[in-house]
Chains A and B, each alone.
Chain A
Amino acid sequence: MEYGLDLEYSFNELLKGFGLSSEIAHIIWLPLPMLLVLVAAVVGVLVTVWLERKISAAAQQRIGPEYAGALGVLQPIADGLKLLVKEDIIPAKADGILFTAGPILVLVPVILSWLIVPFGQNLLISNVGIGIFLWIALSSIQPIGLLMSGYASNNKYSLLGGLRAAAQSISYEIPLALSVLAIVLMTNSLSTVDIVNQQSGAGILSWNIWRQPVGFIVFWICALAECERLPFDLPEAEEELVAGYQTEYAGMKFALFYLGSYINLILSALLVSILYLGGWGFPIPVELIAKFLNLPINAPFIQVFTASIGIVMTVLKAYLLVFIAILLRWTTPRVRIDQLLDLGWKFLLPISLANLLITAGLKLAFPQFFGG
């Protein structure tokens, strides 16, 4: 089953051809995928910001940005540049060190989590054994950054926003982890590559969404809550808290929060597509297409074709979910804090526990369908 492009191997072979040792070739290779993924994440944010502006405009019967570039595609870049050149203000009564460290602590774990996002069999930074568990662990660091910036701002709205963010994040992490656990139970592995490969048997029919419909919905709700998207954006509820924990922030520090929340949204969408929608898999298995065209699966043309279709499918599925998230943001009202906690603890937690139990039972009863 081990097929697909292995860029690292070819790159190392190329450098060895120039007479470099394999160790040095490895060191030259290391930063390349990291930079590529970082650039991809930032470009993804720009696209998402543009989509958000356009879709919100459509939802409110406005036109949206239209002067910066065709259809306003350059608007997010203009926004970013504006934030870059704005004055960096630290309020006089704020705690300078914590005020600066907060946004960094929010952004870094989110970017680190891109380590495990696969765009193809070998198209990921590192296929670490603990895979999806790394993401769950890293996403639990974020509330510390939010609490830190909420406290350091020396502003009651910021503090309330930070506390709400932490409470929300802790409550929704548990059903999130439980629904991931059900997937892991079916895969027998924590690695994201194995999770996608497990769904690649029969194209769209073998995607996890058919076997885990409850888990899919629970995971999506929890992912939205973790991203603080609108039905659950209590930490920054603008009518009550000005802007929550980001009230006192301006310039680049605010941009870090902004970037962090959008990268997190894209990351969540990517992970939903990896866990439940077959990741890089095409709705019809590529092996079938290759057989139909009478081409061997190892032909260079088929390999490049598979890899590019994998990237396109991953991004397409992720942006479909981002589109749903944006539509939800501009069409649903915000829940109250007691409704939010009720939903998390009294509804999602029991449901995800039951889902885990039923998955384990089904795995014992029908090992051929639910992973042996």
Chain B
Amino acid sequence: MSIALTTQIICFTVLSLVVIIGALGVVLLESIVYSAFLLGGVFMSVAGLYLLLNASFVAAAQVLVYVGAVNVLIIFAIMLVNKKEDLKPIQDIKSRRIISTSICLTLLSLLIRVDLTNVWSLSSPQNSVGEESTIRIGEHLFSDYLLPFELASVLLLMAMIGAIVLARRDVMNKDISTGLPVDQELIEKSSKPLLTNKS
């Protein structure tokens, strides 16, 4: 076995273990902050798996989008909403957990079946593009995948407009469910003059 192959196998094992254990931690940990940080670790390891598959552009895009934007925003939101709130105990939590576990196990068995029945070997192993992949992705995005690409951008625009509408005080200044005025003070207020006129 060559050194390169051994390195690959070690890297793959470590990355897969981090992905699996990290993902379990995201779901099972009580503290939401730990879950959010672990999610970042899982995203990073998935990027590592992409690197092992010679897809360096996809790996860097994964880090930029998922770690640098999505995960940072999740953590940001968790820390901005710094409300100490006692959560009400949910009714019959046990049966709910049993149901959700069984659904997850069914999904898992489905995935395992797909894994076992699918033929994974590529028809021609010499087909990998490697460093060329950036150019190929660009070509596809501007030719046969143009419509999904543009639709995704429209979707993001809609999400952005929705977020702006929600954040504007004059549009949404009442809680939807209770009808009470919402405390919308920012953590950092716009600066007011420190010295006021005494007269």
Which residues of A does B touch, CB under 8 Å? 23, 27, 98, 128-130, 133-134, 136-138, 140-141, 143-144, 147-148, 150-151, 159-160, 162-164, 166-167, 169-170, 173, 190, 336-338
Contacts and interface: CB of A to CB of B under 8 A. Distances in A.
A305 to B, nearest CB: 31
A337 B68 contact: no
Contacts of A169: 72
B188 A160 contact: yes
Given A138-B63, A160-B187, A336-B191, A190 B68 contact: no
Contact of A23 (B2, B80, B134): B2
B3 to A, nearest CB: 6
Interface string B130-151: 1100100000000000000000
Contacts of A140: 63-64, 67-69, 72
Contact of B56 (A129, A143, A170, A173): A129
B6 to A, nearest CB: 11
Given A144-B75, A163-B79, A173-B68, A137 B37 contact: no
B12 interface: no
In the A-B complex, the 3 residue pairs with the closest CB atoms: A140-B68, A129-B131, A137-B60
B68 A148 contact: no
B134 A144 contact: no
Contact of B191 (A27, A148, A150, A338): A338
B56 A130 contact: yes
A169 B71 CA distance: 14
Contacts of A162: 79
Contact of A163 (B2, B69, B76): B76
Contact of B79 (A129, A147, A336): A147
Given A133-B60, A137-B64, A160-B188, A166 B134 contact: no
Contacts of A136: 60, 64
A325 to B, nearest CB: 24
A337 B187 CA distance: 12
A147 B76 contact: yes
8 contacts: A23-B3, A130-B57, A133-B64, A140-B69, A143-B68, A143-B72, A144-B71, A166-B72
Nearest to A169: B72
B40 interface: yes
B46 to A, nearest CB: 13
Interface string B1-37: 0111000000000000000000000000000010001
B61 interface: yes
Interface string B66-85: 01110111011001101000
Contacts of A160: 187-188
Contacts of B73: 170
B103 to A, nearest CB: 31
A372 to B, nearest CB: 15
Interface in B70-120: 71-73, 75-76, 79-80, 82
Q: Is the interface of B mostly helix, strand, loop or mixed?
A: helix
Nearest to A150: B79
Interface centre among B3, B37, B69, B80, by most chain A C-beta atoms within 10 angstroms, is B37
Contacts of A128: 56
B190 interface: yes
B70 to A, nearest CB: 11
A222 to B, nearest CB: 15
A336 B72 CA distance: 22
Nearest to B56: A130
A98 B33 CA distance: 10
B72 A144 contact: yes
Contacts of A164: 188
B181 to A, nearest CB: 24
B8 to A, nearest CB: 14
A338 B80 CA distance: 17
A63 to B, nearest CB: 35
A160 to B, nearest CB: 7
Contacts of A23: 2-4
Contacts of A338: 190-191
Given A137-B64, A173-B68, A147 B188 contact: no
A16 to B, nearest CB: 16
A129 B76 CA distance: 32
A264 to B, nearest CB: 15
Contacts of B2: 23
Contact of A137 (B61, B76, B187): B61
Nearest to A142: B68
Contacts of A147: 72, 75-76, 79
Contact of B60 (A130, A148, A166, A336): A130
Given A134-B56, A144-B72, A163-B187, 11 more contacts: A98-B37, A129-B57, A133-B60, A143-B68, A143-B72, A147-B75, A148-B37, A162-B79, A163-B80, A164-B188, A167-B76
B36 to A, nearest CB: 9
Contacts of B56: 128-130, 134
A203 B63 CA distance: 36
B72 A137 contact: no
